[in-house]
Structure 1
């Protein structure tokens, strides 16, 4: 086997090589070694490679190295991405080795102001989602008339999301003799037609499997009566077979589920586009070391997860389509290993799940949750849970809050009780009135110690009692 070339041997500028070396990136991955030299030479490149194979650096190095100075509102290089998470990821990655080359990023879901200001100042490289970019063009905040280098990342994903008409419209606004580099997990259908129309004699490079193989995994479809039940069922599944990747559709949903699983004793880490690169790296490292049982991931974030030994995949939220099911499920049962894929289905989702099964070549029954059967299907060896306990962390947090705020039973503002009294109250001292007792103040139920809260079995019952007493006193005063 021949030794792969170094970045320097591929023609990468010394400044970029040094910047990559500072990050611990000393040699190219397969897709980088295959495509960088051609892209640096200005050729059109057609690359098929899975997410996580190093594509961002593969197309990022040539774009940065060949950057042409730009005027305000007129970038000279354009990188199109299907989602804001991926656009942010590309932007962050390129800035780490871009030096003085200015890089901007635009996508929807946020205000126009900062993006417009960046474009007015001028950027050589613009990373963009198609929809927001066309909006900015319509507003005359940016023009593509000087774009000489175009990169289409995850072109298959853009086709799936219906962006191809917008992509064609954007490409038509760039210079006719531009360089076009396209990366995709598949090179058929709309992607093939796009390359035929907008690339000139592209050099083709392919890396990795064309489609993840999910036949090596065992697939289970569990019917869950209510949405709220999914958390406990997921906790049982992860505790039964782990390490596991649990898929959610949204960032907020991922964060919420990670917290909820913690209450069931499941140690997990959320990973999505809203987390910084450092946070994602630490989460992946903890997962790879077995320090957490589960990664809670969105589809976009999971495209960058490449960890061997994943024992289970749980579809907490149903995938968007059969392709998403294949990509999610392909995270387990790799390299000849087994794995279990569990889908949680609400009653109204069962029909769609059966249709999806037919599209991916499955025919599995929809059953009640069955973790013993899941364990039997798993080939992962049983092992003790990680040492750290989430409950201990919660206790530490509670103690910190108690210390900061003076305990859970703080006296009302203006009460006469001092620090000593507060300590006695929080400790449940004998001087506190007990449940159902009358105090020395009489039937109005007020404590002889100002500021001391009564300890009752229920806040609701206590409040109701106070309302009844106030009504009684008001009735007495009206009589008199």
Structure 2
């Protein structure tokens, strides 16, 4: 397939393709669209940015019956951000199809509005596995009419710990459906998932799809009372820009985060006892580089996806080797190698042996550099400023940027990521300019209005 005209797409999709300026199909579109449009299951290896969203989007929209008020397509994505992108692309492709309703069902935002959106069934659902599973358990989402399932960036979903959620969702879907699985890598776990979710799939792969990235995993045998000193010593030795420290209990999460913060590290805790707003705040600060260390439990970190995560530390090894692989897989993305540091007490040696058996490789053991009273602790490059206003106040990222570069006198290069939620907004500011930014916004206005501003 060398042109979109070779496909027998409905006129509305041909119109959308022309409006979007699509000229020549990308390699993944050329390989996957013909079998997708023929109704076959497809297992596709394709990296981010290869055009895969348009490939499965055109396929599911081609068979969509917008006159039938039922949910006909489900797209599962690893993160809220990716789900948002996919939703926007599908809406763009569906621009000429009348009355198409698409619902975004993702974690990290209030459940109420999503429940309300399901009062009248959407034609298409794009969501993250955890939130979709939650809505299925509440019997708020009817998937009995699903005709197309898409698993987008499936390897990332597995690395982020969504395997059980995906399997639970699959059990609830009609067997007579088309299933499309897109993944940048094809490790054994993806092959196994394909066996259980696809029927005689057509396999396609494009050049540039990544092989499974390498994790530089190092193991350190330490006594229980020396763990915190070992952790601090390793953080000072390697000085990673961003680190997630996994603990097996909430108490350890709090204790380790407090110890690191008291020692001068930009660290915070993330576990299931946090309110959603506090959880969002911690995640925002970590993703915008205001926090350099996030201490987390497995449950709280499920769905966490941070671009360019430099390091994962297992403060305690998990009892399940697959959980270990999910944890450490977060630090190796887009072909980059990652660093995994593992603190192992003598009673955890059996867990280390299980990991060795599971990986099929000898573990690399080293001596931990103990440092209970660290000096020269690296500081986070950014700090976060919180504005008590958000989408309900019609606030947009551009409004915040304009106020900071205007009345506050900052340069655009001094300003990092801006996140706007329903009632709050967060902006990363170069650490040494935080006071000036707060003073400027407190003295000035945003969109002609004064809002409460504070530094975090």
The TM-score normalised by the length of structure 2 is 0.54
1:112: how far off? Answer: 6.5
Q: Name the counterpart of 2:143.
A: 144
Structure 1: give runs of 5+ residues left out of the alignment: 373-383, 405-480
CA separation of 1:320 and 1:112: change in aligned 2, threshold 3 A:
farther
Distance change in 2, residues 1:385/1:255 (3 Å):
same
**1:300 Cα offset (Å):** 3.9
8 Å contact kept, 2:266–2:291: yes
Distance 2:307 2:169 in 1: 29
- CA distance, structure 2, for counterparts of residue 316 and residue 52 of structure 1: 35
**Is the Cα–Cα contact under 8 Å of residues 329 and 341 in structure 1 kept in the other structure?**
yes
Distance across 2 between alignment mates of 1:109 and 1:60: 25
Secondary structure at the residue paired with 1:121? coil
1:20-62: per-residue Cα shift (whole Å, max 9, x none)? Answer: 99xxxx9988656653564356443112457898765653454
More relative contact order in 1 or in 2 (CA 8 Å, sep 6+)? 2
| Cα distance, 1:181 vs structure 2 | 1.0
Q: Check conservation: 1:32, 1:57, Cα contact below 8 A.
A: yes
Partner of 1:35: 32
Q: Tell me the equivalent position of 1:170.
A: 173
Is 1:91 aligned with 2:83?
A: yes
Structure showing greater radius of gyration is: 1
Which position in structure 1 is the counterpart of 2:427?
A: none
1:279-318 map, 5 Å? 283=288, 298=301, 300-302=303-305, 305=307, 310=310, 312-316=311-315, 318=317
Aligned to 2:75: 79
Instruction: Label 1:168 to 1:34 Cα distance change in 2 as closer, same or farther (>3 A).
Output: same
Q: 1:421-432 alignment to 2 at 5 Å?
A: none
Counterpart of 1:237 (choices 234, 237, 262) is 234
Q: Residues 336-355 of structure 1 correspond to what in structure 2 (within 5 A)?
A: 340-345=339-344, 348-355=347-354
Provide the aligned C-alpha RMSD in A.
5.8
- CA separation in 2, counterparts of 1:112 and 1:332? 30
Name 1:474's counterpart in structure 2: none
**Structure 2 match to 1:441:** none
CA distance in 2, matches of 1:294, 1:54: 34
| CA–CA distance in structure 1, aligned partners of residues 342 and 55 of structure 2 | 35
The TM-score with structure 1 as length reference comes to 0.52
Aligned 1:149-228 pairs, distance under 5 A: 149-153=148-152, 154=154, 157=158, 160-161=163-164, 164=167, 167-172=170-175, 176=176, 178-184=177-183, 185-186=186-187, 190-195=192-197, 198-199=198-199, 202-205=202-205, 208=209, 211-214=212-215, 217=216, 219-223=218-222, 225-226=224-225
Match of 1:358 in 2: 357
Q: Which residue of 1 aligns with 2:403?
A: none
Q: CA deviation at 1:96?
A: 2.3
Q: Quickly say closer, same or farther: Cα 1:344–1:202, change in 2 above 3 A.
A: same
Match of 1:135 in 2: 137
> What's the offset of the Cα at 1:75?
1.0
Aligned partner of 1:117 in structure 2 is: 116
Any conservation in 1 of the 2:245–2:293 contact (CA below 8 Å)?
no
Higher strand share: 2
| Distance of 1:326 and 1:18 partners within structure 2 | 43
- Maintained 8 Å contact 2:145/2:174: no
Which 5+ residue runs of structure 2 have no aligned equivalent?
372-376, 384-429, 443-456
SS at match of 2:66: coil
TM-superposed CA distance for 1:203, in Å, is: 4.3
Query: Quick check: 1:103–1:126 contact (8 Å CA) kept in 2?
Result: yes
SS of residue paired to 1:127? strand
How far apart, in 2, do the equivalents of 1:64 and 1:168 lie? 24
Q: Is the 8 A contact 2:312 2:341 kept in 1?
A: yes
Contact 2:213 2:336 in 1 (8 A): no
